[in-house]
Amino acid sequence: GASSAATPGPCVPSPFPEVVELNVGGQVYVTKHSTLLSVPDSTLASMFSPSSPRGGARRRGELPRDSRARFFIDRDGFLFRYVLDYLRDKQLALPEHFPEKERLLREAEYFQLTDLVKLLSPKVTKQNSLNDEGCQSDLEDNNQADAKFRRVARIMVCGRIALAKEVFGDTLNESRDPDRPPEKYTSRFYLKFTYLEQAFDRLSEAGFHMVACNSSGTAAFVNQYRDDKIWSSYTEYIFFRK
């Protein structure tokens, strides 16, 4: 009887190079094509996979490009570095008190990175300002089950007492240094509110300008956050008025 053999079809070359240049919101990134495909069913895998349902259109070169022929993605260019890091390592390292967690969560949702969304979601609920000011935590040490500590983030005020009272008025808590005369200096006052924006507005209205900023803290994996580590850092803002 007659016999037949299947002949493999011609190999269809990928329309994408091995190394892909991206323009994300004006920021340029260079990565491997395989990195963009590393999370199946994600937005990026769909965009850059020739075999995806969207791939047929993509093979015809319909992905937008910038003036230098880089693939253009109209998203937050700064935050995309964390998205790309996650695609490479399947881990996410952020600075403590990272102020853009909620926006990064939106980027993770847009790119359909389910595990990254899970990593970010619990932390967003603790944020109510530019940073983690105002968060409260009840800590219980495993070795001291009867000992509980409540740590409340505060905006501390350091400087000449008269100026602090002029700027912050009755929102200034003086209970930790109550008897100092106005011409003296203190580093023990703190504000009764926990919103940095509100403090900055008051300083600006009083004619002050920020001249320096520095912070103390180390990076940590998001899924390895511990409350005692979260509270071990601070950010200092220095204002000056002529």
In a domain, 202, yes or no: no
In a domain, 37, yes or no: yes
Hey, CA dihedral for 150, 152, 156, 161, is it positive or negative?
Answer: negative
Residue 231 has pLDDT above 90, yes or no: no
Hey, CA dihedral for 73, 75, 81, 83, is it positive or negative?
Answer: negative
In angstroms, the CA 39 to CA 52 distance is 13
**Greater confidence, 178 or 39?**
39
**Greater confidence, 98 or 139?**
98
Kindly report the backbone phi and psi dihedral angles of residue 159, in degrees, each rounded to the nearest multiple of 5, phi listed first. 150, -165
CATH number, residue 31: 3.30.710.10
Give rounded-to-5 percent helix, strand, coil for the chain. 30, 25, 40
In a domain, 63, yes or no: yes
Nearest to 225 by CA among 136, 93, 133, 101: 93
In a domain, 222, yes or no: no
In a domain, 43, yes or no: yes
pLDDT tens digit string along 13-66?
567 899 999 999 999 999 999 999 999 999 999 999 877 555 444 444 578 999
pLDDT tens digit string along 81-137?
999 999 999 988 888 778 888 899 999 999 999 999 999 886 433 344 334 433 433
pTM value surpassing 0.75: no
Domain count for the chain:
1
In a domain, 47, yes or no: yes
β-strands 209-216, 136-141 pairing: unpaired
| Domain that residue 24 falls in | 16-74
